[in-house]
Chains A and B, each alone.
Chain A
Amino acid sequence: MAEPSAGDLIARLPRTFGPSFNDQLAQWNLLFPAEQRRLRAQVDWLAQLPPAAFKHLFEPIVALESKMDLPRWDPSAKGMSVTDVGILARSPLYPQWRTEVAKVFATIDEGVGSAGALPPMRRLLMCVLPAGLPPSKEPWWPSLAKGGAWVDLDRPFGRAFPALVASVVKRKRPAGVEDIESTWIFESDARFTDAPKPPGETVVSWKALEQVRREFLNRLNAVRRDLHSVDQTNVDLKRLDIGKWMPEALAAQPRVREFIRGVMLSGNGSLVFPSSFVQWGASEAMRRAEPQAMIACFGIRQRLKPFSSSVLFEDQRRSNPTADADDPAGSLVDALMLAEYVRLTASRIAAYGARTLTIMTGEDLSRMLVLGVPAPKSKLDEAALRAFVMGHIESEG
């Protein structure tokens, strides 16, 4: 898709909007198709807005900006630094600014309507907790379960999982869905990374990205306690050639490579804990790429070691005499919450709002929580499970 012409649009936008708008346009080729469609629709809608309506739309933000004591940002700047964001966020008027920004985008989204989206389609979200977790005294996802139903399986889900994923990946896709927006898998280990990948499958593995993470952590550990150092490290990490440290299938796709860089730069534990990486990565991929099928495989993290763990970004194996050990109990608590967060993220994204089958389960569990569609009433064997999932995602309408 060709980059939209923003013309003089950016110069007419409020000053707090310019840098991020510029950033998006400058990285046009690194945006996913869903983002490109959305941005183009927004630009087109704003460009055709009569001057008076345009002024009216942004007037409250411009008025707030004039009272916010903001520095003179270069309108052609691409993105904001940590320092800039800090200045904005600590303004007494920041909460009002955020409220007004949300209103503006609600208006734009309403104006754009469905112009920036693919036709509605059936979607799939699977959140799978790893094998080896301890039994839980409490029921899993009690809050989500109120809106769905537990379905019994004739065997632990993990035994049917690889074949089910293979079927999902090979499914017939709706017209207009590109490979990059077909199926994404986030995993803590490298089970799906190591398997042969047909077109349309994007697998992002915490384990396979270890060297990239280590390079990021090494640099972040060296950040001095001042904003200039933080900003400089961010700039350096944005330029770092990370492709050489990641699986070839990912490095060969600039959009995916830069997506991974973005996930790692935006924190949220993506560099530190495997399940945090899976949660944040899956959430960002749904927000940005809107794949038709998203599979999030959570993992077991290691027990934090005494003293090393005070330096969270440090490799805990270095110089520490304490032996490595998994923390299954802590991992269960983490993954239950983070899997729920993936589901909550999907529920905020219009593309997943309806017609999304969500399956929440664990590899050792002989049942699964079904959300979003009517659940089967009877116990499912492997074939029935596959038929249920494929019947949903391959159907039209």
Chain B
Amino acid sequence: MLITRRKLLELAPLAAAERLARAGNPKSAAIAKRVVLVTIGGIRRQESFSKEGAIYIPHFVNDLAPQGLFYPLTINEGVTSHFNTISSILTGVWQHVDDWGSQKPANPTLFHYFQKQHHVDAGQTWVVTSNKQLTANISPGVNVVLSKQLMIEAVERIINGQTERRRLERDQILQEMTAVLETDYERIGWGVPSTSTFQDPEVKQTFLAALANFIHGPDAPTSGDDLTFLIAREVLDRIAPALLMVNFSDMEVAHSGSYSLHLGGIRRADALCHRLWQFIDSKPELKATTTLVIMNEFGRDPDGSSTNGFFNHRTDTECCRMAWSVVLGAAVKQPDIIERVIRQVDMAPSIASWMGLETGKLAGAVLPEFHG
């Protein structure tokens, strides 16, 4: 059952709806508006914004949606694969390119518009992703960090005896990830427009701090999305780019048929999105300037479908195509639940419009609520 405005309010008494103070001194005077765009893998309505699914996303229901713009009906009309969906969200045009990320999107992305029109370099545009299909091709010229792939590479090197480190113990993994970071980041698919980026002490320290937090953090995090979150948070904290895209994908373990682990991935994405918002909210320079947009890429296939239900996301069904979005922060004048159907490609022109970017005519349309 779909969560309506009334249901959501029943589930989550609207917290003090005072909008966030917009005052404050931005870290960089050049950046008046920032966007953090989080895409999450496939999550069905029945495991999220529905009466039976709300238990898996307590932070979205209680903490995030009530203080932002909540679009419960955000449709994916394109190819319901990861690369094409994220490309469509970033370009505002439905993309039909190779699902494995071997091709660039056929249209410019938000990163491209921002770099061109603000005459800035790659330092202002970052992608931190768990999903390895989101290759550097997602937007050439952007810093693309495949965080989970870094961990996978380190683990594989230890398991396969390709390093002097022999055990999957925390300190050895930290050492191995650091070594991969120093020497092999291009081989594992990271896109760094200039090799000098990694020579920058601040950038280097960003990664080392994130890895140290991952290995020695108080909650003993171990998942790819945990690492993605920690790297994204460090990027936000130390570099504070104008555009940061983050991708969580732990729930994609569904492809292997473990429903319990799929639900665990959904719960983790819920918690990490909340922590990301809390972090932004706790930093005056970010709080004043940043809009956080959170979108699941699609649902998944219906139970009983010939495509094996929650395992996959291939059907032309509402269960698979109907996603949701939450917008928080600077672009939100007042919290609202928008009950009309919007399209995922509407988000790029809306973000662009809010940031003052000219995109020309896109398939998507500007969402009137998205302003500031």
Flag whether B208 is at the interface (Cβ < 8 A): no
- A283-B308, A311-B155 known; A268-B257 Cβ under 8 A: yes
Q: How far is the CA of A301 from the CA of B256 in the complex (A)?
A: 12
Looking at B156, B261, B310, the one whose CB has the most chain A CB atoms below 10 A away is: B261
Q: Contact: B257 with A280, CB < 8 Å?
A: yes
Q: Contact: A225 with B257, CB < 8 Å?
A: no
Partner-binding segment picked from A20-28, A327-335, A370-378? A327-335
Name the A residues within 8 Å of B152 (CB-CB): 310-311
Flag whether A132 is at the interface (Cβ < 8 A): no
Q: Contact: A337 with B259, CB < 8 Å?
A: yes
Q: How far is the CA of A283 from the CA of B309 in the complex (A)?
A: 12
Closest chain B residue to A87, Cβ basis: B98
Name the B residues within 8 Å of A86 (CB-CB): 98-100
Q: How far is the CA of A99 from the CA of B220 in the complex (A)?
A: 48
Q: Contact: A90 with B260, CB < 8 Å?
A: no
Interface positions, chain B 249-308, Cβ under 8 Å from A, are: 253, 255-261, 263, 303-304, 306, 308
Name the B residues within 8 Å of A94 (CB-CB): 79
Number of interface residues of A (CB under 8 A): 55
Flag whether A272 is at the interface (Cβ < 8 A): yes
Residue from B148, B159, B223, B303 in contact with A344 in the complex, judged by beta carbons closer than 8 Å: B303
Residue from A267, A327, A340 in contact with B303 in the complex, judged by beta carbons closer than 8 Å: A340
Flag whether A72 is at the interface (Cβ < 8 A): no
Q: Contact: B258 with A226, CB < 8 Å?
A: no
Closest chain A residue to B83, Cβ basis: A90
Q: Contact: A306 with B257, CB < 8 Å?
A: no
| Interface size classification for chain B | 35 or more
Closest chain A residue to B321, Cβ basis: A95
CB distance from B174 to the nearest CB of A (A): 11
Bitwise interface map of A from 268 to 292 toward B, beta carbon under 8 Å scored 1, else 0 = 1100110110011001000000000
Bitwise interface map of B from 19 to 59 toward A, beta carbon under 8 Å scored 1, else 0 = 00000000000000000000000000000000000000000
Flag whether A321 is at the interface (Cβ < 8 A): yes
Residue from A319, A322, A332 in contact with B166 in the complex, judged by beta carbons closer than 8 Å: A319
Interface positions, chain B 299-334, Cβ under 8 Å from A, are: 303-304, 306, 308-311, 314, 316
Name the A residues within 8 Å of B259 (CB-CB): 333-334, 336-338
Interface positions, chain A 217-232, Cβ under 8 Å from B, are: 221, 225-227
Closest chain B residue to A230, Cβ basis: B100
Q: Contact: B260 with A321, CB < 8 Å?
A: no
Closest chain A residue to B84, Cβ basis: A90
Q: How far is the CA of A269 from the CA of B252 in the complex (A)?
A: 12
Name the A residues within 8 Å of B100 (CB-CB): 86, 225-227
Closest chain A residue to B189, Cβ basis: A225
Flag whether B97 is at the interface (Cβ < 8 A): yes
Looking at B79, B132, B224, the one whose CB has the most chain A CB atoms below 10 A away is: B79
Name the B residues within 8 Å of A338 (CB-CB): 257, 259
Flag whether A233 is at the interface (Cβ < 8 A): no
Looking at A86, A92, A319, the one whose CB has the most chain B CB atoms below 10 A away is: A319
Given contact pairs A226-B102, A330-B260, enumerate 18 new A-B contacts (beta carbons under 8 Å). A89-B81, A89-B99, A95-B316, A221-B156, A225-B135, A268-B255, A272-B256, A273-B257, A273-B258, A283-B308, A304-B261, A306-B168, A307-B168, A314-B159, A341-B308, A341-B309, A344-B303, A348-B304
Q: Which residues of B contact A (CB under 8 A)?
A: 79, 81, 84, 94, 96-100, 102, 132, 135, 148, 151-152, 155-156, 158-159, 166-169, 173, 189, 220, 222-224, 253, 255-261, 263, 303-304, 306, 308-311, 314, 316
A-B contact pairs, 30 of them (CB 8 A): A89-B81, A91-B96, A98-B316, A267-B255, A268-B308, A268-B311, A269-B258, A272-B256, A280-B308, A305-B168, A306-B168, A308-B155, A308-B168, A310-B148, A310-B152, A310-B224, A311-B156, A311-B159, A312-B253, A312-B256, A314-B155, A314-B156, A319-B166, A321-B167, A329-B260, A330-B258, A333-B260, A334-B261, A341-B304, A348-B304
